[in-house]
Amino acid sequence: MADLKLYLDQVTNAQTAVQSIVNQIDAALQLGTPEGADQALALESQLDEAIAKRSQAEGFYNKIVNAMKTTDLLQNFVPVSETSNAPADEQDKPKVLNLSEYNRLSPRERLAFAKGGGTLEE
């Protein structure tokens, strides 16, 4: 998976630029003069550009995140170990039995023997 920090930094920088312009507009309006109002209005085009850049950066970041998502959830997990699915006691059982030994097994043990790849000999 790619590092998303670079993409998120672009969004953060764009948001910082928007906030800086908003602060300049606020400072100009706080002057309470017609010149301050004119300064604030003059910054409107810069604010529009900064907002557009931020929206573009956010959209690009979201596209990257969505592209990195997988529909196969199992692909996101790493197996803990390479172990057999059979219980430990079944691994030690013999794979070849004669007919009399097989007949002494319970039905469950016979099924486990057959599923475990066991074979019969006469």
For residue range 42-85, list pLDDT tens digits in order: 999 999 999 999 999 999 999 988 887 766 666 666 666 665 55
| pLDDT of amino acid 66 | 84
Average pLDDT over residues 81-93: 58
- Report which residue type is found at 74: L
| pLDDT of amino acid 53 | 96
| pLDDT of amino acid 73 | 64
Q: Are 120 and 97 in contact (CB under 8 A)?
A: yes
CA dihedral sign, ordered 9, 11, 17, 22: negative
The helix/strand/coil state of 3 is coil
- pLDDT, tens digit, for every residue of 4-47? 889 999 999 999 999 999 999 999 999 999 999 999 999 999 99
Measured between alpha carbons, how far is 84 from 87 in angstroms, rounded to an integer? 8
Measured between alpha carbons, how far is 20 from 119 in angstroms, rounded to an integer? 79
Q: Is the pLDDT of residue 113 over 60?
A: yes
DSSP-assigned beta bridge partners for residue 96: 119
Locus of tokens 């529009």:
48
